[in-house]
């Protein structure tokens, strides 16, 4: 009977040890699985953005990447077109404001322009003009 109790005790201890090892293995695999899923999500997000941003200017690309930095792929897919449209709208508004300021601050708008008319009695040839410039340089 003592031998049977000893045998059962060893089986229970061995079973407990196996269960503890299995729990640790499951925990390690769960952490590794989460890490791999996060990496996959990041790669999917980067690939989506790379495809969508291909051909756009650098400022727009930087703005979109900054806007969606910590967002998930579903959010990016849903809001990408809206974000690009809003960037374009803000950029156009900024250009319009700069244009209005430039027109308001333009100093030549009210400038008086004097027209000078020259009349020549005899037509000048290219050779005559060249010779005249050489004569002026000698002075």
Long-range contacts of 38-46 (CB under 8 A, 24+ apart): 41/72, 41/73, 44/73, 45/71, 45/72, 45/73, 45/76
Residue 29 vs residues 17, 32, 38, 96: alpha-carbon distances, Å:
18, 5, 14, 57
Measured distance CA(30)–CA(38) in Å, rounded? 12
The DSSP secondary structure of 12-53, one letter per residue, reads HHHHHHHHHHHHHHHHHHHHHHHHHHHHHHHHHHHHHHHHHH
The pLDDT tens digits of the residues spanning 75-92 come to 999 999 999 999 999 999
pLDDT of residue 124: 60
The three-state secondary structure class of 25 is helix
User: Closest Cα partner for 23 from 68, 106, 31?
Assistant: 31
The pLDDT tens digits of the residues spanning 96-126 come to 998 888 877 776 666 677 777 776 666 566 6
pLDDT of residue 5: 82
Burial class (CB in 10 A: 0-12, 13-18, 19+), 48: middle
Structure token pair of residue 7: 């045998």
pTM of the model: 0.56
Structure token pair of residue 92: 């156009």
- In contact, 80 and 73? CB cutoff 8 Å: no
Instruction: Provide the residue ranges of all domains of the chain, joining segments of one domain with +.
Output: 9-106
The pLDDT tens digits of the residues spanning 27-81 come to 999 999 999 999 999 999 999 999 999 988 899 999 999 999 889 999 999 999 9
- In contact, 89 and 62? CB cutoff 8 Å: no
């Amino acid at each position: 009977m003592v031998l049977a109790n000893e045998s059962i005790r060893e089986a229970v201890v061995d079973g407990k040890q196996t269960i503890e090892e299995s729990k640790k293995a499951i925990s390690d695999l769960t952490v590794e699985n989460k890490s791999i899923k996060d990496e996959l999500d990041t790669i999917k997000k980067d690939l989506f953005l790379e495809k969508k941003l291909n051909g756009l200017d650098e400022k727009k690309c930087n703005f979109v990447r900054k806007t969606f930095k910590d967002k998930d792929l579903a959010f990016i897919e849903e809001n990408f077109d809206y974000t690009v449209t809003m960037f374009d709208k803000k950029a156009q508004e900024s250009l319009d404001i700069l244009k209005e300021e430039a027109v308001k601050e333009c100093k030549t708008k009210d400038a008086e322009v004097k027209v000078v008319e020259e009349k020549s009695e005899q037509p000048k040839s290219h050779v005559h003009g060249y010779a005249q410039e050489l004569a002026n340089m000698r002075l």
